Every structure is written in C-alpha cells, then in structure tokens.
Amino acid sequence: MRRLLRRLRHWPDRLAHERRRAETIRAIRAAAPTRVVMGCLGNICRSPYAAERLRAAGLDLAVESAGFIGPGRSPPEEAVQMAAERGVDVSGHRSRQFTRDDLAPRTLVLVMEPAHVDRLAAQFGTAPGPVLLLGDLDPEPIETRIIIDPFGHSRATFAATFARIDRCVATLIESLGRGPGPTG
C-alpha cells in the first residue's frame, strides 16, 4: 500500500519528465554558465559526487558543491567507497554551506530536490542564473524528480543514487555544448 501511495504521489513527476528534461536542457544552454554549483542538503554524499564527476570531464568551468547544513564534514565511508568504485575520489571533500556568492551571475546551480530550490530562494532571494534540478536531466524514465539522499541507507541505495547522478551529469555535459547533445 505504501509503495502504491508513493507511486501515485510522484505520478506527475513521471508524466512531465520529458517536457521538464527538454526545458532544463534549454535553460542550461541559454545560461552559458562559467561556473556550476552542485547542491544538496548536507553536501557530503550527492553534491560532492556530482561535482567531482563533472570536474573529471575537464570542462572549462569552475565546479563546486555546497549544502545547507554542517560545514566541515567529511563524506561517510560508504560514499567514499562507492565513489572510488566508480572512479571518483571524494575522500578529501569537506562540506560547506551555500552562500550568496553561489548564486552569482553566470552560475548554474543544480540541486537534488525541489525543496532545495525553495530553500535557496527563501534564504537568498531570486538567483540571476538558473537554479535547476539535476534529476530533471535523467535520460531514463524516472520515479521522482528527487535524487534520493543515500546517507544512512544501504549500499544499493548509494549505487542507485550515484548511477542516476552519472546519467544526469552526462546529460549536463552534453547540454553545456561539450558533447553531441541529447535529443529532446
């Protein structure tokens, strides 16, 4: 019953995914960012992994990550291990909180949940550049727009979260004009 309720709650996300994906790609291309900030709640699992994955592409962009809570924290061992298995080193990462500078012009901010967009707007006001959901870039059908926070969850949850981030970052790279470009 619980699973059915969750599927029904996220049905609009699945239904609108292709349209949102195309809109997000257009917004990224129009923004022509010189800087990308990946964000999540604690800045210890999802956003550092996404930032390092993007940084590894070697694009001519400044790439950072930030969160809303607890500066100076290290990623949990599960995140470090899973990232390493995927060829990404997050072992030296230390969390930091979002600042107003993270919403500067020519900065693209990609967050993991719709609530993060709302929280940034409440905390800092409207950003001059786009604040978008990374999950909207997923080329596969989605269950929800949210990229699940794996903190405190199983190894399988970390693997699924990081696999989804990989797909979304690949689309981001293409959307920035550094690849053949996704259809849609």
pLDDT value, residue 40: 98
- Let me know if residue 46 belongs to a domain: yes
- Let me know if residue 125 belongs to a domain: yes
pLDDT band, residue 182 (cuts 50/70/90): very low
Write the pLDDT tens digit of every residue in 74-132: 999 999 999 999 999 999 999 999 999 999 999 999 999 999 999 999 999 888 889 99
- Let me know if residue 6 belongs to a domain: yes
- Let me know if residue 79 belongs to a domain: yes
Catalytic residue among 20, 21, 40, 138: 40
Report the chain's mean pLDDT, rounded to a whole number.
Answer: 91
pLDDT(8) > 70: no
Strand 35-39 relative to strand 62-66, pairing:
parallel
- Let me know if residue 184 belongs to a domain: no
pTM comes to 0.90
139: tokens are 């080329």
- Let me know if residue 183 belongs to a domain: no
pLDDT(2) > 80: no
pLDDT(12) > 90: no
Catalytic residue among 29, 119, 149, 167: 149
Structural domain that includes position 65? 2-178
pLDDT band, residue 38 (cuts 50/70/90): very high
How far, in Å, are 11, 81, 117, 154 from residue 110 at the CA level?
22, 24, 9, 25
The answer to whether residue 45 is catalytic is no
Catalytic residue among 20, 21, 46, 164: 46
Cα 53 from Cα 49, distance rounded (Å): 6
pLDDT(181) > 60: no
The answer to whether residue 96 is catalytic is no
- Let me know if residue 26 belongs to a domain: yes
Would you call 60 exposed, middle or buried from its count of C-beta atoms within 10 A (0-12, 13-18, 19+)?
exposed
pLDDT value, residue 78: 96
pLDDT(147) > 90: yes
Instruction: Give the mean model confidence (pLDDT) for residues 13-25.
Output: 88
pLDDT(180) > 90: no
Report how many domains make up the chain.
1
The CATH number that applies at residue 84 is 3.40.50.2300
Helices H / strands E in the chain, number of each: 6, 4
Cα 119 from Cα 142, distance rounded (Å): 23
DSSP SS3 for 85: helix
pLDDT value, residue 64: 98
pLDDT value, residue 184: 36
Single-letter amino acid code for the residue at 104: A
The answer to whether residue 40 is catalytic is yes
Write the pLDDT tens digit of every residue in 40-70: 999 999 999 999 999 999 999 999 999 999 8
In angstroms, how far is CA 44 from the centroid of its own chain? 12
User: 120 near 131, Cβ under 8 Å?
Assistant: yes
pLDDT value, residue 4: 52
